[in-house]
């Protein structure tokens, strides 16, 4: 290893939901990154995309797809099954209390939220993974952080647990240190766009702030005499919401009783159901007849790497088209300005990859990022 390579610094910035369409619309950070392009993502939400990005494997391999999967026997909420239906203010207080108990017992180590899930329905579900993919050993597949640990790379990472402004400040303070790699994840742009939409002026301002932070990193590395590799990418894009459907009420009107005939989980862009084989056929037909979306075939799920033999993420999976939202859902009672979790082939679903070095073999998918980064920093694996 030469003196120059020893002194090299790699900075990796992962901005949740910064879609390629958004990068292009705002001309984001073009002068800092001679290399940039769209990045394929996978079907699902960050609970699927982040583990896929960090491990380079699909959800069917690393096991984490939607945030919740059907698993009554392991559910940390199983005692709630005996609850009656409660009025909304009581449900809200109960969820707060459940959250406190679960957090105090440290049952779930990764990111999760109880959103607006009816407490009684929680008893059927477990979180996709109870461990934290940002912690080494946090996934059943080897992650970027596992590789950094075993290779002895001196690194530091920041994630959703601390505010992004503080994280950028700390990162900047370590640019001149002996750290070889600094990794920062932020979900604050994602939260902003859910609220205001993807092309709002607040998004422009947020992106301008990121550009300032990136410019400071470049200047500080230069002042410290450290050759800098700067990468910025996202796990998926974001789509403006155009309409909403009340799928929960519709399914109820067909006479399927929740918790008796069917178990359902209403994500915001997908509804997932568990029921007997005969009900599955009837339900699938009714869902397709609404014209609100499509029941996904096993073949399609297989191609997306989201087919689970045990049906734990849904035996009938109904996906909405880009821009449509299930309202109310277990994720929220009100509509929001923008959402992700649509068909990954839609242009607004694409993430972005940006680099300050020109390279011929840029990653084209979130699944390529781990091996790309390891190769660039010279970590070889057998």
- Cα 209 to Cα 206: distance, rounded to the nearest angstrom: 5
**Closer to Zn ion at the Cβ: 190 or 267?**
190
- The packing angle between helices 201-223 and 164-173, to 10°, is 10
* Residue least distant from Zn ion (Cβ): 190
- Compute and round to an integer the Cα radius of gyration of the chain: 22
Q: Do the Cβ atoms of 46 and 236 come closer than 8 Å?
A: yes
Spell out the alpha helix ranges (H) of 9-87.
20-26, 46-55, 59-62
- The packing angle between helices 144-151 and 46-55, to 10°, is 30
Nearest distance in Å: CB 179, Zn ion: 29
Nearest distance in Å: CB 230, Zn ion: 24
**Closer to Zn ion at the Cβ: 180 or 329?**
329
Q: Which helix (H) or strand (E) holds 127?
A: strand 125-127
**Closer to Zn ion at the Cβ: 146 or 190?**
190
Query: Cα dist. 309→140, 142, 264, 306, 313 in Å?
Result: 17, 22, 18, 10, 9
- Cα 21 to Cα 50: distance, rounded to the nearest angstrom: 20
- Residue 267, interface with Zn ion (CB under 5 A)? no
**Closer to Zn ion at the Cβ: 192 or 232?**
192
**Closer to Zn ion at the Cβ: 126 or 190?**
190
Nearest distance in Å: CB 194, Zn ion: 6
Nearest distance in Å: CB 351, Zn ion: 12
Residues 183 to 242 in contact with Zn ion, rule: CB under 5 A? 190
**Closer to Zn ion at the Cβ: 319 or 373?**
319
Nearest distance in Å: CB 340, Zn ion: 6
- Cα 144 to Cα 363: distance, rounded to the nearest angstrom: 15
Nearest distance in Å: CB 190, Zn ion: 4
Size of the site for Zn ion (CB under 5 A): 1
Q: Contact residues for Zn ion (CB under 5 A)?
A: 190
């Amino acid at each position: 290893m030469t003196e120059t390579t020893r002194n090299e610094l790699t900075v990796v910035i992962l901005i949740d939901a910064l879609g390629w369409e958004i990068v292009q619309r705002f001309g984001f950070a073009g002068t800092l990154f001679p290399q940039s392009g769209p990045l394929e993502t996978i079907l699902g939400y960050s609970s699927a995309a982040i583990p896929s990005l960090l491990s380079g494997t699909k959800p069917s391999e690393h096991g984490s797809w939607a945030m919740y999967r059907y698993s009554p026997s392991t559910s940390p909420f199983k005692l709630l099954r005996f609850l009656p239906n409660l009025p909304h203010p009581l449900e809200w207080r109960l969820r707060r209390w459940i959250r406190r108990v679960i957090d105090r017992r440290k049952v779930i180590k990764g990111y999760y939220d109880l959103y607006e899930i009816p407490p009684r329905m929680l008893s059927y579900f477990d979180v996709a993974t109870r461990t934290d993919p940002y912690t080494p050993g946090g996934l059943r597949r080897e992650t970027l952080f596992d590789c950094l640990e075993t290779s002895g790379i001196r690194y530091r990472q920041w994630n959703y647990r601390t505010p992004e402004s503080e994280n950028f400040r700390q990162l900047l303070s370590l640019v001149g240190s002996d750290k070889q790699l600094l990794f920062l994840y932020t979900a604050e742009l994602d939260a902003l766009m859910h609220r205001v939409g993807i092309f709002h002026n607040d998004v422009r301002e947020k992106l301008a702030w990121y550009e300032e932070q990136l410019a400071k990193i470049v200047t500080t590395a230069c002042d410290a005499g450290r050759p800098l590799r700067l990468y910025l990418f996202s796990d998926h894009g974001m789509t403006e919401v155009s309409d909403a459907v009340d799928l929960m009420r519709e399914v109820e009107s067909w006479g399927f009783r929740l918790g008796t005939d069917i178990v359902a989980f209403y994500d915001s862009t997908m509804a997932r159901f568990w029921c007997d084989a005969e009900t599955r056929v009837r339900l699938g037909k009714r869902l397709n007849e609404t014209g609100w979306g499509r029941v996904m075939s096993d073949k399609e799920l297989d191609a997306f790497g989201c087919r689970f033999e045990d049906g734990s993420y849904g035996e009938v999976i109904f996906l909405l088209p880009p821009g449509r939202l299930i309202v109310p859902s277990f994720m929220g009672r009100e509509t929001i300005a923008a959402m992700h979790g649509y068909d990954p082939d839609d242009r607004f679903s694409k993430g972005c990859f940006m680099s300050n070095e020109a390279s011929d073999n840029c990653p084209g998918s979130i699944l390529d990022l781990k091996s790309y980064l390891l190769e660039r920093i010279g970590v070889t694996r057998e």
